[in-house]
Chains A and B, each alone.
Chain A
Amino acid sequence: MSESVLKIRDLRVTFNTQLGELRAVRGVDVDVTPGEILGVVGESGSGKSVSFLAAMGLLPKSATITGSVELDGVELIGAGRKAIRSVRGKSLAMVFQDPLSALNPVHRVGDQIVEMIQSHQDMNTHDAEKKAVELLEIVGIPQPDERALQYPHEFSGGMRQRVVIAMAIANNPKVLIADEPTTALDVTVQAQILEVIQRVQQTFGTAVVLITHDLGVIARVADSVNVMYAGRNVESGSVQSIFDHPSHPYTRGLLSSLPHEGIERLHPIAGFPPNMLAPPSGCGFAPRCQHAIEACSAELPSLSPFEDLLTSCIRADELRVGRRS
């Protein structure tokens, strides 16, 4: 495996709230290989967004962050403001969920891209504007020179998300973090946006972290997958392996709860997500797992190799399921 461009070790994020300490992320490791699309999947509250917001330094002051986040060898946690600002928008960029609220409504779209370019590159405004139009073209916006002069509210949802992506890749970042980029969009538009992301990856060699709760999205574009639950990674591997022979009961539950041909009833995962103010000891999934034993709740399991995956289920071996053909 080539050297990771984004290396996260033992990331922990705790929020200081009125009701107590919310342990959103409890020791997460991530490796992003250059040029690959890493899918991070989990339900709401699993800590998937918070982990990467922490990496970007975009969490509110009420959050306590420990651990290490290395981008191309440079440590981001605890780095000074100037250091973080020079990384953000340049080597590390982010695309958010709701494109309407992510863009400033009173500035023209082209100007917002130019702002991104000029804050990290020494380019005069005229050249930056030309580059902005090029970027709009790359993400597939028709008549980019005219549309660059328009305001966000004059675009449809899918077009807006393309604009946001164009803005994010303006400085050719090494890693693009996409936090639920398709969740707020129609299904038909979702496919288009994923296609844009893939194109970016292929054209520029950008590594992409695709955060989502939608397994369909993962299946479509991801190269490798991290599955998160209750603030920790529970399984990780290539997308083929995960979908073919998932080893963790949670992953299996996710896959089997998808509607597919031939079934008559849906099989949701029983139980409720855990309360992160007082997370369960031991494996976070144990309270809902039908295969849980006492040892599961005894102590926090960590990821260990199992066949061609990394899994945190201590019973993976025993629960080995037949491979799908």
Chain B
Amino acid sequence: MTNTVIPAMSPRQMAWRRFAGHKAALVCSAILGLLVLAVVLSPLTTRYGVNESVKAPPNSYLPPSKLAWLGTDDIGRDLYSRLIYGTRVSLLIGLFSAFISVFVGCVVGAVAGFRGGRFDDVIMRVTDLFLAFPFLVALLVVRNMFGSIGWLTFIVGEVSSLRFIIFLLSFFGWMGVARIVRGQVLALKEREFIEAARASGASRSYIIKRHLIPNSIGPIMVALTFSVVGAISGEATLSFFGYGPQPGAGATSLGLLVGQAKGAVQTGFWWIALFPCLVLVIISLCINFIGDALRDATDPRMDAGK
């Protein structure tokens, strides 16, 4: 009788399998997908323009009704449509700054981890310090400082512009990514296939590009997801306290909408507070779940006995 052979799976397939096993992550991906779809197809999915009144006055602060599904704001605009447009803006901010953060973070982290030495030490202490600071404090101080630098605002835009916000959030975002990538590179550096590559004369940048980065895809993807949610949160926090982007022309962001929730408490118009907060929380939750499932999928740990 012969031995049966167990089919082997590539690491990517195994990771996919593990991810799919996380029911919560799948549900969140679906929810997020729906949301993104609603946002992407925006003129179709919204009912009114972003600055458009629902009807003639009196139209302010109407509770949810057939006319305005989620109620209206202080000047009679449909909250539902504004929520969709606002989410679009915030998602764009989140995605752009996340990608920039991840790009810069990968480069810095890989070089720091691989070369070690002074460069690595300095980078680590600096990022450590920054990351240890209360986020809001650091964010505000840096924001104003950058905003006062003439040539910077010339390139990146004024303090209240979208471009500036993306720049600011990326400035904070790359540090966390760099630490993750550096940790991964440090772990991989000792592995034999890197030694083998060096022994065959590969240059440092070749090793980084062709060996280290591809083997770090897992943690990089995880870092990307958490960067997105971090950026969206950051924008919301800034806007909440009035330091966020002012897109002008009645346009809004998710953060700005959440910021208006402050006033709603006093006045009792609960829909102004509840719905934007709900959307923000759902987005954060879903992205966090997906990121966590990705982390489990790409960095398996054996559970002791089921």
Contacts and interface: CB of A to CB of B under 8 A. Distances in A.
B266 interface: no
Interface in A80-107: none
B306 A62 contact: yes
A253 to B, nearest CB: 17
A65 B4 CA distance: 25
Contacts of A61: 305-306
B288 to A, nearest CB: 27
B1 A287 contact: yes
A157 interface: no
B6 interface: yes
B3 interface: yes
Interface string A252-285: 0000000000000000000010110110111000
A172 to B, nearest CB: 31
Interface in A6-41: 16, 19
Interface residues of A, number: 17
A322 interface: no
Given A281-B1, A297-B1, A19 B304 contact: no
B3 A60 contact: no
Contact of B2 (A16, A282, A287): A287
A272 B306 contact: no
B6 A280 contact: no
Interface string B1-29: 11111100000000000000000000000
B304 A60 contact: yes
A19 B7 CA distance: 11
Interface in A42-71: 60-63
Nearest to B306: A62
A282 B1 CA distance: 10
Interface residues of B, number: 9
Interface string B268-306: 000000000000000000000000000000000000111
Interface in A270-325: 272, 274-275, 277-278, 280-282, 286-287, 297
B6 A277 contact: yes
B80 to A, nearest CB: 45
B14 to A, nearest CB: 11
Nearest to B1: A280
Interface in A235-257: none
Interface string A157-201: 000000000000000000000000000000000000000000000
Interface string A215-228: 00000000000000
Nearest to A273: B3
A280 B4 CA distance: 9
Nearest to B304: A60
B1 A60 contact: no
A281 B4 CA distance: 13
B3 A287 contact: yes
B305 A278 contact: no
A24 to B, nearest CB: 14
Contacts of B306: 16, 61-62
Contact of A62 (B1, B5, B6, B305): B305
Contacts of B304: 60
Contacts of A16: 306
A62 B2 CA distance: 27
B3 A19 contact: no
Contacts of B5: 275
B277 to A, nearest CB: 41
B1 A275 contact: no
A172 B3 CA distance: 45
Nearest to A286: B1
Contacts of A287: 1-3
Nearest to A274: B3
Contacts of B1: 280-282, 286-287, 297
B4 A275 contact: yes
Nearest to A15: B305
A272 B4 contact: no
A27 B304 CA distance: 25
A280 B3 CA distance: 7
27 contacts: A16-B306, A19-B6, A60-B304, A60-B305, A61-B305, A61-B306, A62-B305, A62-B306, A63-B305, A272-B3, A274-B3, A275-B3, A275-B4, A275-B5, A275-B6, A277-B4, A277-B6, A278-B4, A280-B1, A280-B3, A281-B1, A282-B1, A286-B1, A287-B1, A287-B2, A287-B3, A297-B1
Interface of A: 16, 19, 60-63, 272, 274-275, 277-278, 280-282, 286-287, 297
Interface of B: 1-6, 304-306
